[in-house]
Amino acid sequence: MSSSPREIALVTSPAAGKGLGPGLRAAVARRLRDSGLVVRDLMGGDGEETLSLTRHAVGQGADGVVVIGGDGMFHLGLQAVAGTDVPIGLVPCGTGNDVARYFDLPRQDPMAAVDRIIAHRTRTIDLARSGDRWFVTVLAAGFDAVVNERANQMRWPRGQMRYQLATLAELRTFQPLHYTLDLDGEVRRVEAMLVAVGNGPSFGGGLRITEGALLDDGLLDVVIIKPMSRTGLVRTYPKLFAGTHVTHPKYEHHRVRKVTVAAAGIVAYADGERFGALPLSVECVGGALKVWV
């Protein structure tokens, strides 16, 4: 185990945790300082500035990064530390909190999560990489991504209801997509409702779309949901929370080191963030991240 950290970059943004992140900053910083750490408090005006500040702090020798927020803030922070020996910790206050689920972090008690960081126990995990961007949970590249894209264009309502309305709107018109997939060199052309690429097992607040995915096996889990009726899709949706959709006849699962996903007109999302238009090539990078657990 590495020596205990001396200086922590504490990172949040104005929008983190639906605005809750900034309010926690003072209490989190105080707890970290009381444990003997030097805290560099970072918050940019937006995500781009916040990431720039975080990368600068890591480049200047910060011994660790702690982000306050949800999966989106963790996604931002890991862009600064992926592929380095600098660990990252999470104080959860997001909506989905899948990263917190991965590491069994307290989701209702921020100070208990801070104490996990102070204890300085780390776990090394894999990450998924596409070009110069990384993700830790799941890349959504189908119906789920289309819903995200529609919801982001809606000004009303706010919160989770926006995604529910976007889902209903897309259900009325969505048609199966034509995909070209390269699975470790095996090219396949399929029609599907969605393709998901998982580094971990869940996204979207506990939807276990890539059930069985492990964070440290050196592989990506690619799930294909083949065409089904709107009624079938609605009936299958609740099974995602338990991971029992894996027995559905329209479910297909592959484990690969690298995958390329192509489909016309789709913008993929990863860690709940807008990631990029297809086609995208994604590879698993083993041992790319150290996390305080």
Instruction: Kindly state whether residues 187 and 245 are assigned to the same domain.
Output: yes
pLDDT of residue 20: 65
State the residue range of the domain holding 191: 138-287
Contact in structure between 253 and 245 (CB atoms under 8 Å): no
Taking residues 65-81, report their average pLDDT.
96
Is 230 contained in some domain?
Answer: yes
pLDDT of residue 1: 44
Does the pLDDT at position 240 exceed 80?
yes
pLDDT tens-digit profile of 248-291? 999 999 999 999 999 999 999 999 899 999 999 999 999 999 99
Pairing of strands 7-11, 64-69: parallel
DSSP assignment, residue 266? -
Is 1 contained in some domain?
Answer: no
Instruction: Kindly state whether residues 155 and 275 are assigned to the same domain.
Output: yes
Instruction: Kindly state whether residues 154 and 211 are assigned to the same domain.
Output: yes
Average model confidence (pLDDT) for the chain?
Answer: 91
Is 43 contained in some domain?
Answer: yes
Is 131 contained in some domain?
Answer: no
Distance CA 69, CA 12 (A): 7
Residue 77 belongs to domain with CATH number: 3.40.50.10330
Does the pLDDT at position 163 exceed 80?
no
pLDDT of residue 158: 63
pLDDT of residue 18: 58
Is 198 contained in some domain?
Answer: yes
Q: How many domains is the chain built from?
A: 2
pLDDT of residue 160: 60
Instruction: Kindly state whether residues 278 and 158 are assigned to the same domain.
Output: yes
Instruction: Kindly state whether residues 232 and 265 are assigned to the same domain.
Output: yes
> What pTM was estimated for this model as a whole?
0.91
Instruction: Kindly state whether residues 142 and 115 are assigned to the same domain.
Output: no
Is 258 contained in some domain?
Answer: yes
Instruction: Kindly state whether residues 145 and 112 are assigned to the same domain.
Output: no
Contact in structure between 188 and 222 (CB atoms under 8 Å): no
Q: Select from 85, 120, 155 the last residue of a domain.
A: 120
Instruction: Kindly state whether residues 64 and 175 are assigned to the same domain.
Output: no
Taking residues 201-230, report their average pLDDT.
94
Does the pLDDT at position 10 exceed 80?
yes
